Amino acid sequence: MPPLLSNFIDALGQPAMRHAMVGHFPIVLSLVGFPIAVWAAIASRNGKAVRLTALVLYGLLAVSSYATSYAGDLAHDAIRGSLDQQTHELLEEHEELGEKVWKFAAGVGVLMVISLARHRTVRMSSSWLAAAGGLFVAGWIVNTADHGGRLVYGHGAGTPQLAPAVVQPASRTQDMDPRVQFFGERIRPILVNNCLRCHNPQRARRAGRLDQTTIAGLLTGGISGPAIIPGRPGESLLMTAVRHEDPDLQMPSGGDKLPEADIAALEKWITDGAVWEAFEYVPPVRAQEPE
């Protein structure tokens, strides 16, 4: 099979790639649709064929945007576990942008239907409104697509080749201490996804003065003393907090209790000496206030 074809077939098997491919239909349709919508408005008296063409294009645009959103949901499900907090939040923003596209396109389609009316004023005003709507939709789509592009190329979302590089900076897993590997694969994601948005240097002051972005922070601990004692999970405050053993200290604060598997992983990590590998924590853009 020619490589181009086999690459294409490969890509069809990957939800994120499928989403990106389907997503090019609305991009092209919106860019082609806008000039035709303007033409339909200018040719308003005799332009029935043009108006029908524009109507069909915006119908297709609504359908293909809906399909893109749907393919995007599937892609999100496929990569959900592998995202860091910041990428996760950007992805949600992307979804919010994307979900609106088909509704806007359908709105322009409705205006196009109205523009088929006989009444001149109705026809004129609705076809110019539709043209303006077409410009708005094209702008919205280009912005959404650009946002998606940055997620892929800037953050590695949905790229199997890049994702491991983003999630774990080391490609030397083979000769790595298994405890370092365990930290990178199991522990760091738990901390990043559930704890660090409050327990980071900028916010620690309001979170028991406990900074969990470095091992030094955990060992020094917060107002109640060390958060972990390597080798002794039973005496580590962090374990008390995630197990909800103390009614006054239940972490993550304001969130659900961690899954048992994560709690067990934290316990194993502390038992094995709390081996750490330095990493850079980037606080999420829209950080929530600690409760």
Between 120 and 205, CB nearer to ligand HEC: 205
Q: Which is nearer to ligand HEC, 130 or 266 (CB)?
A: 266
Least distance from ligand HEC to the Cβ atom of residue 250, Å = 7
Q: String of b and e for 159-190 (b: at least 16 CB within 10 Å)? A: beeebeebbbeeeeeeeeeebebbbbebbbbb
271 close to 184: Cβ distance less than 8 angstroms = no
CA distances 41 to 31, 48, 218, 290, Å, are 16, 10, 66, 53
Backbone phi, psi, residue 192, to 5°? -60, -45
**Among residues 163 and 210, whose Cβ is nearest to ligand HEC?**
210
- At its nearest, how many Å lie between ligand HEC and the CB of residue 266? 8
Closest to ligand HEC by CB, 229 vs 258, is 258
Pick 44 or 240: Cβ nearer ligand HEC:
240
- Cis before 252 (ω within 30): yes
- Interface with ligand HEC (CB under 6 A): 194-195, 197-199, 206-208, 210, 221-224, 227, 237-238, 241-242, 249, 251-255, 258, 290-291
First CA to last CA distance, the chain: 58
How far is the C-alpha of 224 from the C-alpha of 230, rounded, in Å?
Answer: 17
Shortest distance in whole angstroms from residue 179 CB to ligand HEC: 19
Rounded to a whole number of angstroms, the minimum distance from the CB of residue 284 to ligand HEC is: 11
* Total count of residues recorded for the chain: 291
Give min distance, CB of 151 to ligand HEC, in A. 24
